[in-house]
Amino acid sequence: MWDEFNIKTFPAETAVFRNGVFCPELSTIVGCDINRKYARPVHIIYVGEIAGNCRLDVNINVDNQNVFIDVRVKNKLPAFFNIFIKNAGKNSECRGHILMENYNDLKYECMATHVGDDTTILVKNKLVAGRNTKSKLSAVAIIEKNSKNAISDIGFSAMADKTARIEFTPAQRILSIPNSAEHSASIYRPSSPQIQYLRMAGLSGAEVDTALGAAFMNDFSLF
């Protein structure tokens, strides 16, 4: 996964999806069943090209389970990508890095629901939007009643061509007092000195765009 998709793996129980299809031959979790306690963290990897309706469900129903979600997808055809996360495990934590490249029309929705006490859901979404593309991204974090001490954070960041159209809708529905609850959205614009430096290093205009896009996608300090 590192060579092909620049995703670091680590000792974990894995569930791998390629082009929207579960890959049992690359996974250690049978049928992507994470509704049981594993001694090691759970690593869900979702990579490749997407088109049409795609969906990823992550249900955590056991206590003290760490779940990591790595998504790196791109679409050249219209796509609708849904991610549903439900954390009902006390002291369980879910962290997601969602990286999307849009070259057509992309709709993305993430719903993150806290059901148990002391649950954590942190989802960072990044988008690179190409020329004349349309991107509509929404996310809702729900902290259900009697879900004490939740930690919730959903963020969006995008780097887009000047001709791209982007709509962000981050939201939260809070029915219990959390430890923390945040959401954010931002647009990243490369600075003139950055572009000039790369051009002086001998990169063409297309190579500059590629380098800046790669740097943006791999820098989570932007959140």
223 pLDDT tier (thresholds 50, 70, 90): very low
pLDDT at 32 over 80: no
**Pairing label, strands 42-49, 105-114:** unpaired
- State the average pLDDT over residues 10-17: 92
Which tens digit of pLDDT belongs to each residue from 69-105?
999 999 999 999 999 999 999 999 999 999 999 999 9
- Record the pTM: 0.89
| Closest alpha carbon to 185 in 213, 205, 162, 157 | 157
Whether the CB-CB separation of 75 and 106 falls below 8 Å is answered with yes
Q: Which residue has the tokens 């929404």?
A: 138
- State the average pLDDT over residues 14-37: 89
